[in-house]
């Protein structure tokens, strides 16, 4: 029960990494607010979590500032505080080689990843600074340390998140608040299943070949799992993790060189 009495907000918490983190936090005693675009999916997730009044859902699209800030405000209003923020929502769709890339895809990717992280972090920092305790965990990517052709907007967004992580950690390090980024390798989540085939096609390979490419680059020669990322998130959210801040922590099976 490392998180007993804590309150966490997890963006994109109805599936994939976000849901796994929400489940892990609940198992460690925290109360959790999750957000997502689908009300139906949110209600089903709450029912599956079975956490009663320790879990709430608020519908919203993280590419919209009002939805992001409203989610943080709803967390504080319902639970009376916010201790942990997980900026998990993110992704990319419509990827193409840069010469063919549209302004719309670039803009959406930045809002989905970078702006949503900024909006949520700025809103959550106010109550965290008042209570002089907080944990901000940004879900970045191994591509925030390296890069691949065609993934350019996503790679740029995750590099930006990593830089934001380091800078904000410097701002609030003496205030009892840590700011870290987890950089997962490839994980076969719903969003990868939905958008991955089109991305692979733009790369000139099949989806299975793309998965195999990512796996070959790792030491473990397989995709990572959501549970492996959630375990790192629990550590960073806990009191034990107080000495870790401004870090870009890889959970990528040994893919990244740093």
Would you please indicate which residues are annotated as catalytic (active-site) residues? 154
Q: Pairing mode, if any, of strands 84-87 and 134-139? A: parallel
DSSP labels for 136-198?
EEEE--GGGTS--TT-HHHHHHHHHHHHHHHHHHHHHGGGTEEEEEEEE-----HHHHHHHHH
What are the beta bridge partners of residue 137?
A: 86, 180
User: Are 177 and 128 contacting, i.e. CB atoms less than 8 angstroms apart?
Assistant: yes
User: Are 31 and 112 contacting, i.e. CB atoms less than 8 angstroms apart?
Assistant: no
CA dihedral 53, 134, 239, 46 (to 10 degrees): 20
């Amino acid at each position: 029960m490392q998180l007993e009495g804590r309150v966490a907000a997890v963006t994109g918490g109805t599936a994939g990494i976000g849901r796994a983190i929400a489940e892990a936090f609940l198992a460690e005693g925290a109360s959790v607010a999750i957000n997502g675009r689908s009300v139906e999916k949110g209600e089903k997730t709450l029912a599956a979590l079975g956490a009663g009044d320790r879990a709430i859902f608020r519908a919203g699209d993280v590419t919209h500032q009002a939805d992001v800030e409203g989610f943080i405000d709803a967390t504080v209003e319902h639970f009376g505080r916010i201790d942990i923020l997980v900026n998990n929502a993110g992704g990319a769709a419509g990827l193409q080689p840069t010469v063919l890339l549209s302004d719309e895809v670039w803009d959406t990717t930045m809002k989905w990843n970078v702006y949503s992280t900024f909006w949520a972090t700025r809103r959550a920092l106010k109550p965290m600074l008042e209570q002089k305790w907080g944990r901000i965990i940004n879900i970045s990517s191994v591509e925030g340390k390296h890069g691949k052709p065609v993934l350019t907007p996503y790679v740029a967004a995750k590099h930006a998140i990593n830089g934001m992580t380091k800078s904000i950690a410097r701002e609030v390090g003496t205030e009892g608040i840590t700011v870290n980024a987890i950089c997962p390798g490839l994980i076969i989540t719903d969003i990868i299943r939905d958008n991955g085939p089109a991305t692979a096609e733009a790369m000139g390979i099949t989806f299975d070949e793309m998965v195999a490419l990512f796996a070959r680059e790792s030491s473990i020669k397989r995709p990572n799992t959501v549970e492996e990322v959630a375990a790192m998130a629990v550590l960073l959210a806990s009191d034990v993790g107080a000495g870790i801040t401004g870090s870009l922590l890889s959970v990528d099976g040994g893919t990244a060189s740093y």
